[in-house]
Amino acid sequence: MIRILSISFSICLWLVLSGCKEPVQKPELESFVVKNVIHPNNNPYNKDKVELGKLLYFDKRLSLKGDTNCAICHGVEIQNSATAPRNQIHKSSAPSLTNVALYRDVFNDPQANDLEDIVQERVHTAVMLKDEKTIVARLNQVREYRELFEKSFGSPGITMERIVKAISAFERTIVSKNSKFDRYVMGEESALSPSQKRGLDVFMNKAKCSQCHKGPNFSDSERHTTGLKGITQTVRTPSLRDVSKKSEFMHNGEFTKLEDVVSHFVNGGSQGSIEDPLLKPASISEEEKRDLIEFLKSLEGESLPFEMPKIPKA
């Protein structure tokens, strides 16, 4: 009995000295945490389909001229690979596909109900140049692709619909999660530095960033003005996940430094830009601005780069 009490006392003493505490979650912030991505019933997840989609995503044979692929415009983090070239199709910085499955309406396209609708339109128009018959026939000439399509869908046949479903299934796996912020919300108090905690407070309150940047993707999926002079179009709120990894910011690549973007919005946009009730100058100090930037860095998810797939030979 004495031995048991001695062991119990030792354990309690160790817990006290080590500062060990039960993780305290922050329910008021849980709506910002990335959880499971749901695959739709008409395109359920399976590993073979995802792997097929990854091959198609990087295969230039999907383009009519054989000179481009999805990754050239919408780059993903690849092991031992340089940054993907600047978008050549849309003449601007293409939207990141990181966490694309978490956007409420994908690309805010009124004609699209799901990710598959967007992939169908983009691939058919911008990559295949509306000649799906030639592309399907080209893929049918590759024995490995014929086998992969049958394995992925349970029956033989390469069709446009199956190409779209495979690419969409792969894109839903491009997820940034388990960031320092996520771990902090789920109870790991030390995941954020003191500066980042102060920056979170600035983000939620003084700077009012969360008016537009909210939810697990830090985006309301709505279109807003950019505060850029001479720009009249509205742009969907971009995700802030992995924002510190970016080298270009704004829809047109206007800024190349995160600090400049923060200053732009803290100042309420550029002089002479279209007014927006949500875009007002924020009264924050330079130290608070630095804290805010540090918080944004905490949204960088785990580095899980894809390995460049080995494209099937004809």
**The token pair that represents 173 in the structure block:** 């796996």
**b/e for 1-25, b at 16 or more Cβ within 10 A?**
eeeeeeeeeeeeeeeeeeeeeeeee
Q: What are phi and psi of 206, to 5 degrees?
A: -60, -45
212 annotated ligand-binding residue: yes
39 annotated ligand-binding residue: no
Number of H helices and E strands in the chain, helices first, is 11, 2
Burial of 242 (0-12, 13-18, 19+ CB in 10 A): middle
Contacts of residue 260, defined as CB under 8 A and 6 or more positions apart, other chains included, come to: 249
70 annotated ligand-binding residue: yes
* Torsion sign over Cα 117, 118, 123, 125: positive
Contact 34, 286 (CB under 8 A): no
CA distances from 243 to 110, 176, 250 (A): 26, 11, 11
Contact 301, 178 (CB under 8 A): yes
209 annotated ligand-binding residue: yes
CA–CA gap between residue 53 and residue 59 (Å, rounded): 10
Which residues sit in the known binding site?
70, 73-74, 209, 212-213
Q: Can you say which residues are annotated as belonging to the binding site for heme c?
A: 70, 73-74, 209, 212-213
